[in-house]
Amino acid sequence: MTILILSRADVRRLLPMRQAIEAMKRAFAQLSTGQANVPLRVPLQVNRHNGVTLFMPAYLAADDQMAIKIVSVFNDNPAQGLPLIHALVVVVDATTGAPAAVMDGTYLTALRTGAASGAATDLLARPDAHTTAIFGAGAQARTQLEAVCAVRSIREAWVYDVAPKQAATYADEMSRSLSLPVRVAGTPAEAVRQADVICTATTSSTPVFDDADVRPGTHINAVGAYTPQMQEVPVETVLRARVVIDQREASLAEAGDLLIPLQRGLMTQAHIYAELGELAAGRKPGRATLEEITLFKSVGVAVQDVAAASAVLEAARRLNLGTEVAL
């Protein structure tokens, strides 16, 4: 038996953002229409080293695709010059159960997370949105901006990070990469007050901007708060937004941005309007008015990894890329 090994460079080459966004729409549509088997991810806490490793399997029935991702988030890594996140994806042949491919999951995670926000932006943001504010300056923040630019005619972007040097590096890199003016905001307010689309990709435990600065008609992608204790979006913003989530079960187990106002009795689960897949499948409409604030809250679901990794594998076979290894 052989297995195909695909590097980070292979993954980047084989799955362009626009294609990834369409793959996310299909995956979320299957998730919300009962055509996916997705157990809640299994976390292994490694408190001794301030980290957690997550095991995330899923099967997409309509596309007959299966994979598992192993992803680690070790918070002390950046201080040691190491990536915060390491990940690996194993694609399994759904017809035989045989492992088909192993690929870098670190870039794939950033890509599919950005692509989910791209799908949400396409389905929820105002058609005339042209300015974006990005919170965070890491790998996730890069694919967030790339994805928004793939679905809207963005003319200007702002970035805010608690580390100004990282924000400056991000602005320079993304300006050149996207041929777009990306400016460093001195304060969160400077970024938010001008934004049609806001993306938060941080590890914050408190809101990263003030509700009062959010303009009517803004769309927000919140992808960084992935535990019940973490929070990026002010409660007031959540309460006045049309809230769309990636998966109800996962969000109600992990999304601090939603769990905190729920636990305080400030809202009920009925405030959650829809899963993204319901919009992608055409079962519910997106934005109701141009003045409405919309919020996509994502904690990450394994169907995203299955869809992205399967698209990468399909392209690799078509283009004869990767390294075959005998097991």
pLDDT digits (tens, 9 = 90+) for 90-128: 999 999 999 999 999 999 999 999 999 999 999 999 999
C-alpha–C-alpha distance, residues 93 and 64, integer Å: 9
pLDDT at 279: 98
Say yes or no to pLDDT of 209 above 90.
yes
Catalytic hit among 69, 165, 284, 297: 69
CATH of domain 115-300: 3.40.50.720
pLDDT at 154: 98
Cite the DSSP H helix spans in the chain: 8-14, 17-32, 106-124, 139-151, 164-178, 188-192, 235-239, 248-254, 256-263, 276-280, 302-319
Model pTM? Answer: 0.93
Position 226: which residue type?
A: Y
Closest alpha carbon to 25 in 108, 118, 90: 118
Confirm whether 297 is a catalytic residue. no
pLDDT at 223: 95
pLDDT at 139: 87
pLDDT digits (tens, 9 = 90+) for 23-48: 999 999 999 999 999 988 899 999 99
pLDDT digits (tens, 9 = 90+) for 119-167: 999 999 999 999 999 999 998 999 999 999 999 999 999 999 999 999 9
pLDDT at 227: 83
Annotated domain spans of the chain: 2-109+303-326, 115-300
Torsions phi, psi for 42 (to 5 deg): -100, 115
Q: Where residue 213 falls among pLDDT bands split at 50, 70, 90?
A: very high
Say yes or no to pLDDT of 267 above 80.
yes
Q: Reduced to 3 states, what is the DSSP secondary structure of residue 118? A: helix
Topology given in CATH for the domain delimited by 2-109+303-326: ornithine cyclodeaminase, domain 1 (3.30.1780)
CA 143 to chain centroid: 9
pLDDT at 14: 97
Q: β-strands 323-326, 2-6: how paired? A: antiparallel
Q: Where residue 85 falls among pLDDT bands split at 50, 70, 90?
A: confident
User: Is the model more confident about 216 or about 249?
Assistant: 216
pLDDT at 325: 94
Q: What is the mean pLDDT of residues 46-55?
A: 95
pLDDT at 7: 97
